[in-house]
Amino acid sequence: MGKKEEANEAPGEQMRDFSSTTKIAPVIGQYHEKDELYDPFDHRDKKHTTSDVGSATHLIKSSLGTGILAMPSAIKNGGLLVGGIGTIIIGILCSHCVHILVRSSHVLCRRTKTPQMTYAETAGAAFESGPLAVRKYAAFAKNLVNWALCATYVGGACVYIVFIADAIKVLGDEYSGIDIPKRTYMLCLIPAVVLLGQIRHLKILVPFSVIANMSLTIGFSITLYYIFSDLKPLSEIHYVSTWAQMPKFFATVIFAIEGIGTVMPIENSMANPNHFIGCPGVLNISMTVVISLYTMMGVFGYLSFGDDAKGSITLNLPPGDILAQVVNILIALAVILTYGLQFFVPLEIIWNSIKHKFSHRWEVLGETVMRILMVLLTVSVAMLVPRLEPFISLVGAIFFSFLGIFIPAVVETVSCWECHLGTCNWRLWKNCFLALVAVCALISGTWISLLDIISLYTTPASGLVDSGNKTIVNAAVQTILSTTLGVINSTTTLSPVDLTTTVSPVDVITTLLP
């Protein structure tokens, strides 16, 4: 009788001990081989997924941008032989870093019982499930990647402003007969980019992207016609450049090829994610196409224009030709229509980190002002560095080498630390080499680019200083810079949620002011 009562009470006792917050999944970090039974792909949302062909198209499009127009300049800095072979090697290196990032994400999804992860979440999960000594840095790693992505896209948007101003200046100077300062054209772009910066839904940007892709395709085709119509003899070409130019070559190629910020969103939206890093796989096929196109454009662009190759190959086209003018119009149109998409991610990251500071009444106004200030910041930075070549190499050296090479190497090392480093710890040695390459590229590329930027303000031949070695900056430019920096300095600090310290962009920008 007692046993029967005990049996009847057992379910009630069990329910009283049950907690709705009990974690069914194992504690992160306590990973066992049986966790491989969990397939994250089976738990993903299957709605609005993309096919393998669609994913390859997105990946190629994300890597093929205005950076391809800078490839002849990159080959010029490396030399025909070193530049051509080096572009292929750098492309393979970047592809490998994407591969290890996605594979690490798959492993961490199984380990944490999570269907999918973003780039930042992958970095955070790697540290959280890694050695005990680094787990406390998980939140820092996640925030670091988020803000690195934000800074990378902001830097790219600044390059876009310079790129558009260059293209418009060619047309303006040709038809006006006046050498109008490039910064004046940048000021004229403010109304357009402010409006593009206010777009808050990706769906609205779809028509802009379609028009931009069509413009780029036509512009590239006409540019190839000019390239192959006048190739220089090999006797006038340098096969190997100087060591001083190599960091700029590496940084420019990294800037052009890298599209790691869009890799995880593309992989997460695939109908068959396991096809992404297979053999041949979506990644390998897409990057083969990208590397081939970049190498071809760089090598033949350099063979056509030689040491006169500029930061954008469109600037080498004869300004008096109608076709060349059409190319500049199409490229400028494509870039300015892509500005909103380029700036969408950083604006979302920044706003999500500060919107809790605004009440519901002031939320819309606060977001609008934030977007305007960030757009003005990109224009201001572009005015400070109005030359395309050093700007591209600077952004590539600082952001893309860190985000595209260094972080994936660290993520794989930390996630594989527990008995998964391979025979003789080969993964550890390999990733140490990748990290060393990234650090060397960051330091050397940044140093050379900064020297080039400083020379713009100290060399009379640059057009930015007069015979008295004083900087000639238009009064309107100075006003815009001062106003923008003053407003940013007076606003609330845009601090990440989990970071305790912030560095104000004003401190960095004001040091460059003459």
Asked if the model's pLDDT at residue 473 lies above 50, the reply is no
DSSP H helical ranges for 189-321: 190-197, 202-228, 246-257, 263-268, 281-305
Which is more confidently placed, 472 or 321?
A: 321
Q: How far apart are CA 299 and CA 309, in angstroms?
A: 11
Q: How many Å apart are CA 468 and CA 445, to the nearest integer?
A: 30
Identity of the amino acid at 448: I
Separation of alpha carbons 500 and 514, rounded Å: 32
- Residues 253 and 86 sit within 8 Å (Cβ to Cβ): yes
Nearest to 408 by CA among 64, 119, 114, 132: 119
29-74 pLDDT, tens per residue?
Answer: 444 555 557 777 777 777 767 788 888 887 887 777 778 888 999 9
Q: What is the number of residues in the chain? A: 514
Distances in Å between the Cα of 404 and the Cα atoms of 87, 130, 263, 348, 411 are 15, 21, 11, 21, 12
Instruction: Give me 43's structure tokens.
Output: 């738990």
Confidence of residue 292 (pLDDT cuts 50, 70, 90): very high
Work out the pLDDT band at 464, boundaries 50, 70, 90: low
* Calpha distance 102→92 (Å, rounded): 15
| More confident of the two residues 215 and 496 | 215
CATH number of 47-457+467-481: 1.20.1740
**Interval 107-130 mean pLDDT:** 88
Q: State the pLDDT confidence band at 459, using cuts at 50, 70 and 90.
A: low
pLDDT of residue 486: 52
Residues 324-350 pLDDT 10s: 999 989 988 988 888 887 788 788 888
pLDDT at res. 273: 83
Contact 465, 458 (CB under 8 A): yes
d(CA 474, CA 343): 27
Measured CA to CA in angstroms, residue 433 lies from 48, 92, 412 at distances of 39, 15, 13
CA dihedral of 210, 211, 216, 219, whole degrees rounded to 10:
150
In 10 A of CB 356, how many CB atoms?
Answer: 9
Cβ-count burial 383-399 (b if 16+ within 10 Å, e if not): bbbbbbbbbbbbbbbbb
Q: How far apart are CA 454 and CA 329, in angstroms?
A: 31
Residue with the larger pLDDT of the pair 7 and 290? 290
Tokens 């060399």 belong to: 459
- Give the residue-averaged pLDDT of 179-185: 88
Lowest-confidence segment of 24-38, 135-149, 309-323 by average pLDDT: 24-38
pLDDT, the chain, mean:
79
- d(CA 460, CA 470) in angstroms, rounded, equals 9
**Cα 428 off chain centre by:** 26
CA distance 353 to 492: 12
Is the model's pLDDT at 287 over the cut of 60? yes
Backbone angles phi, psi at 52, to 5 degrees: -65, -40
pLDDT, average across residues 121-146: 90
pTM, entire model: 0.75
Sign of the Cα torsion 485, 488, 491, 494 reads negative
State mean pLDDT over 377-386.
89
Contact between residue 83 and residue 287 where contact means Cβ atoms under 8 Å apart: no
Convert the pLDDT of each residue in 432-448 to its tens digit: 999 999 999 899 888 98
Q: Which of 237 and 508 is assigned the larger pLDDT? A: 237
